[in-house]
Amino acid sequence: KLHNNTTPDDVAICRAYLAFLRSNGDGNTFYRTLEAEGVTRARLQSFERPIKSEPSFYADRKDVLIGEFENFLKILKSVHSGTDLDSAIAAARGRLDGGMNQRLDTILGIRGKVSSALSMARAVAEARSNMASIMAGAKDDAALRDLLFLDLALEDCLRSAVERQNISQLGLNELTDLVLFALQNLNFTVGSKELSLCAGHWKKLQILSRDEYEWPLHALSVSDRIGRWVQDFTHVLYQHLQSKAEGLGEAFHAEKWTIPLFSEDVIRGGPAFVLSLLLRPLERSLREKAGLGGWQVVSAAHSVGRVSCIPRLHDVQSERFAEPVVLIADEVGGDEEIPEGATAVLSCSTLDLVAHLAVRARNAGVLFATCFDADEYRRLKTFADKTLSLSVSPSGDLLYAEGANNTDPGDRGEPSKARKVSHPSIQPATPPFVGWVIGQDEFEPGVVGGKSNNLNGLRGRLSNGIHLPNSIALPFGIMERVLTYESNRRLREDCEALLASGGDDPSSKLVAVRANLLQLSAPPELQAALNEQWQRAGLPLAAWESSWHAIRRVWASKWNDRAYLSRRTRGVAHASLHMAVLIQEVVPAEYAFVLHTANPLTGNRNELIAEVVMGMGETLVGNYSGRALGFLCDKSDLRPRILCYPSKKVGIYGTGVIFRSDSNGEDLEDFAGAGLYDSYLAQEPEHRLLDYGDEKLVWDAAYREQLLRRIARIGVEVERLLGAPQDIEGAVVGDRFYIVQTRPQVGL
How far is C-alpha 213 from the chain's CA centre? 24
Nearest to residue 570, comparing CAs of 353, 360, 369, 399? 360
| Beta-carbon count within 10 A of 68 CB | 11
- 356 among known catalytic residues: yes
Cα dihedral sign for 303, 309, 311, 314? negative
Query: Which residues, 6 or more positions from 187, have their beta carbon under 8 angstroms from its beta carbon?
Result: 195, 196, 199
Nearest to residue 607, comparing CAs of 632, 639, 644? 632
Burial class (CB in 10 A: 0-12, 13-18, 19+), 648: buried
Our CA angle for 598, 347, 396, nearest 5°, is 40
Taking the C-alpha atoms of residue 558 and residue 663, their distance in angstroms, rounded to an integer, is 9
Query: Which residues, 6 or more positions from 214, have their beta carbon under 8 angstroms from its beta carbon?
Result: 642, 645
Cα dihedral sign for 139, 144, 145, 149? positive
Nearest to residue 649, comparing CAs of 680, 671, 628? 628
Beta carbons of 587 and 615 less than 8 angstroms apart: no
Taking the C-alpha atoms of residue 621 and residue 611, their distance in angstroms, rounded to an integer, is 10
Residue type, 417: K
Q: Name the active-site residue from 356, 423, 578, 596.
A: 356
In 606-642, which positions are buried (b, 16+ CB within 10 angstroms) versus exposed (e)?
ebbbbbbbbbbbbbbbbbbbbbbbbbbbebeebebeb
Beta carbons of 54 and 27 less than 8 angstroms apart: yes
Helix or strand or coil: residue 312?
strand
Taking the C-alpha atoms of residue 194 and residue 183, their distance in angstroms, rounded to an integer, is 11
Taking the C-alpha atoms of residue 52 and residue 338, their distance in angstroms, rounded to an integer, is 44
Nearest to residue 179, comparing CAs of 244, 123, 124, 118? 118
Cα dihedral sign for 461, 467, 471, 475? negative
Q: Name the residues annotated as catalytic.
A: 356
